[in-house]
Structures are given as structure tokens and as C-alpha cells.
Amino acid sequence: MKKLFRWLTIAILFCLLMSVIAIGAAWLTYGRDLPDVESLRDVQLQVPLRVFTADRRLIGVFGEKRRIPVAIEDTPACLKEAFIAGEDARFYEHPGVDYQGITRAAWSLLMTGEKSIGGSTITQQLARNFFLTSEKTFTRKIKEAFLALKIERQLDKDQILELYLNKIFLGHRAYGVGAAAEVYYGKSASRLSIAQCAMIAALPKAPSRINPITSPERARERRDYVLNRMLDLDFINQEQYESALREPDRAYYHGAIAEIPAPYVAEMVRTRSLQLLGSAAYTGGYQVVTTIDSRLQMAANRAVSQGLEEYDLSLIHI
């Protein structure tokens, strides 16, 4: 028995030594040329150009990506908890890489012989979204892990979560939870129900293919999984869980709806902004407030509409 214990101890120590050597070799190969994550502190998210009347009524939105940045303190707790439950239950505990998850992935590889690429932490996903590609290779995963550890040394958890929630693609040109809330439900993130928070948190796995507009049944299955994880982690109670499960999902595509119809003015602003700012006009989050009075603009719209109707009627009576 003592001999077996001695050999087992030697085997464990040997494995630990090999692990240290492997990590050291990986760092020498991939870790020394990592990008500077300090740039994340001053990151400029691509936010579209928004045009308003003098009294701050929306006239138009221009830009390829829909994004409405939401500060972490303004993000509802249920939305943050839904993402943590669905993507990274140990987010506030691990140092950027979940070693328990790595162990499970290694065991799966040993048992099945297949690479397990999933299971990235929120910090790893952030590293990939900002600095890397989505190619499914071990090289990318190694770089992603080193970057995640580096990010966690320079940013706190709330800063990381805020960047992640505002950066992540969630389908239908929506980037970040603020835009997703508007695109799918036509409301701000602060007004989402628990079920709607879970649905948005269900999207990162395959946002283009599995979302409540393109694939409602599969999206609902994923939503229910997130709700179940929220229950397991005590983020919601049994009553809230059952109520959210029963809630029908009424998501449909909500375009950027102008509050005041003034397309000619909006186009003038877009053209001028493009001349002054170049392509940055569409991504820099600029807000242009015009001199248009929304009350007078609505009155002018009604007058034009009424005048056209009267003109059409006069043609009929000729």
C-alpha cells in the first residue's frame, strides 16, 4: 500500500511538473506578444449617429450597428445575473480563466477524443471579441486564456462585465444589451422582464441562427435553460421561475423608430456630418441636435398631408 501511495505521489508531482513546463512553454510561444489590454479603459464602442429636434425628439439614426451603451450601474440586476447564469456562473470567483471548466474540457477530450472549444469565461469572450478571431483552434484558445488573465489584472469585474454587455453581438445588427432590448422588445434594458432578460442572455451562443425572431422555438428552449440556471444559482425564486416560464415571448423586429417624421432634415444632417467627420460619423456616437421644433414640424407635416389630400380630391371633381 505504501509503495502504491509513493508511486501515486510521484505520478501527481510529475503531472504537475509537466503542467508547469507546458504553461511556461505556451507563455514563451504565445504570451509575450499579446496586445496591450490597457486600451480597453478608453475603448470607443461603435455607436450610430442620432439626429434630434431642438426639444430632443428623435428624427433619425444612421449607422451599420445598432448600439445603445448602458453603464453597469444602470444595467438591471436580472440582466447581469442572466448572463452570468448562462455564460459564466463563477465569473466573480475565477481570475479570468475557469480552471474547473478547463478540467472538465480536458476530461471530455480524454474520454471522447474530441476537442472541446466551448466553455469560455466572460473575460475570455471579451478578449476574443476585442483582440482575436473566432477560429476554433487551440492556438486561439491559449492566447485567449493569457489575454483573459491579463485583462483581470488591469480591470475590475464590473468594468469587464460592462464592456462585455455593451460589445457582444446579439443578432439582427444589435450590439450590446441596450440595442438588443430595443431591437427585440422595443423598450429600454431597464424595463425588461425576467423572461426577456433570460432571452437576451440566451443569444450569445448563436445570435444569428438562434434568436426569438429567426428561430423562436429554439430560442425559447435556450431561454428556459438560462432561467433554470438562474434558479439553481438563487438569482430568482421558484415563483419567479415558474412565472417567467409561462410568459409568452412577443419579440419582433423593432426598427429605429423616428419620433418626428423629418427625413429631409435627417438626410441633410447625415450628409453634412459625413463631410465633417468622415466614416466616424456612423460609429462615433455623435448626437446632432437641430433647430427643428417638433411641434411646428408635426404641424407642417399635417398641413402638407392635408394639402395633398385636398389636391387629390379637387382632381376627382374636375
At 186-228, the pLDDT tens digits run 999 999 999 999 999 999 989 999 999 999 999 999 999 999 9
Mean pLDDT of the chain: 84
Q: Which of 4-13, 91-100, 239-248 has the lowest mean pLDDT?
A: 4-13
Q: Which residue matches cell numbers 448600439?
A: 67
Task: Report pLDDT for 32.
Answer: 55
Handedness of CA 140, 142, 146, 148 (dihedral sign): positive
Task: Report pLDDT for 19.
Answer: 45
> Which amino acid is located at 301 in the chain?
N
Please indicate whether residue 27 or residue 214 has the higher confidence score (pLDDT): 214
Mark 170-198 as b/e (b = at least 16 C-beta within 10 Å). Answer: bbbbbbbbbbbbbbbbeeebeebebbbbb
Residue 171 C-beta-side C-alpha neighbours within 13 Å: 26
In terms of C-beta density within 10 A (0-12 exposed, 13-18 middle, 19 or more buried), how is residue 165 classed?
A: buried
Q: What is the dihedral of CA 129, 131, 137, 142, to 10 degrees?
A: -110
Residue 284 bridge partners (DSSP) = 47
Q: Taking the complete model, does pTM exceed 0.85, yes or no?
A: no
Residue 49 bridge partners (DSSP) = 62
Angle of helix 77-87 relative to helix 122-131, nearest 10 degrees, comes to 90
| Cell (9 digits) for 206 | 448563436
Task: Report pLDDT for 47.
Answer: 86
| Cell (9 digits) for 143 | 492566447
In terms of C-beta density within 10 A (0-12 exposed, 13-18 middle, 19 or more buried), how is residue 147 classed?
A: buried
Tell me how far the alpha carbon of residue 100 is from its chain's centroid: 25
Task: Report pLDDT for 124.
Answer: 92
Distance, in Å, from the CA atom of 308 to the CA atom of 318, rounded to the nearest integer, reads: 16
pLDDT one-digit tens code per residue, 14-25: 454 444 444 444
The helix or strand, by DSSP H or E, that contains position 61, with its residue range, turns out to be strand 58-62
Q: Which long-range contacts (CB under 8 A, 24 or more apart) does 282-285 make?
A: 282/46, 282/48, 282/49, 282/62, 282/63, 282/64, 283/44, 283/46, 283/47, 283/48, 283/63, 283/64, 283/65, 284/44, 284/47, 284/49, 285/44, 285/45, 285/47, 285/48, 285/69
Residue 174 bridge partners (DSSP) = 66
